[in-house]
Amino acid sequence: MPDPNLSEDLLRIPTVQRLTQFRPAAILEGQYRFEQTTLVLAVGELTSVLRFVRDDLGFDLLADVTCVDWHPREKRFEVIYHLFSSVRNELLRLKIRVDEGEAVPSATALWPSANWYEREIFDLFGVSFAGHPDLRRIMMPDNWNGHPLRKDYPVEGYR
């Protein structure tokens, strides 16, 4: 049964078809723009979807993990995974939305390079990653107060 949150055009893309067969409830919404599929996932489905797209769909490169702060929106943070399939020359963007204090499952067991991206997000946004092997600051000093890329962080810093 087609997901009502996904357009017919999006459901024609083979990657999206395979994902909806694998985990129908995992995809909350999606779009296809600029030759790239973007899917918003349920947080609890992230690890299984990341493993599926790596092992079964051939997305062999985790190009980036980044974060956006949409303060004051509820579920203010979007953690975004940029994946690439070198076999099919296909880009895939997966997003999850989390609120302050909500942990994101770490992707370091699937892609060791996620270690650095997740530490950067933790340091600059304050988003925590459950299961991360070494979650500590990477850019700011250990005694730094706050997370400077949050929208509510004062421009002149805390005094």
Give the list of residues 6+ apart from residue 84 with CB closer than 8 angstroms, or none.
Answer: 59, 60, 61, 63, 90, 91, 92
pLDDT on residue 159: 64
Average pLDDT over residues 68-83: 97
C-beta of residue 148 within 8 angstroms of C-beta of residue 140: yes
- From the list 106, 102, 94, the residue with the least C-alpha distance to 134 is 106
Average pLDDT over residues 68-90: 96
- From the list 128, 115, 121, the residue with the least C-alpha distance to 62 is 115
C-beta of residue 150 within 8 angstroms of C-beta of residue 157: no
Task: State how far the Cα of 123 lies from the Cα of 142, in Å rounded to an integer.
Answer: 9
**Which option is the CATH number for 8-102: 3.30.70.20, 3.10.150.10, 3.30.465.10, 3.30.460.80?**
3.30.460.80
pLDDT on residue 34: 84
pLDDT in tens, 8-61: 888 888 999 999 999 989 999 999 988 889 999 999 999 999 999 999 999 999
pLDDT in tens, 145-157: 999 999 998 877 6
Task: State how far the Cα of 45 lies from the Cα of 43, in Å rounded to an integer.
Answer: 5
Answer yes or no: pTM beyond 0.95. Answer: no
Please state the domain extents for the chain: 8-102
pLDDT in tens, 85-140: 999 999 999 999 999 999 999 999 999 999 999 999 999 999 999 999 999 999 99
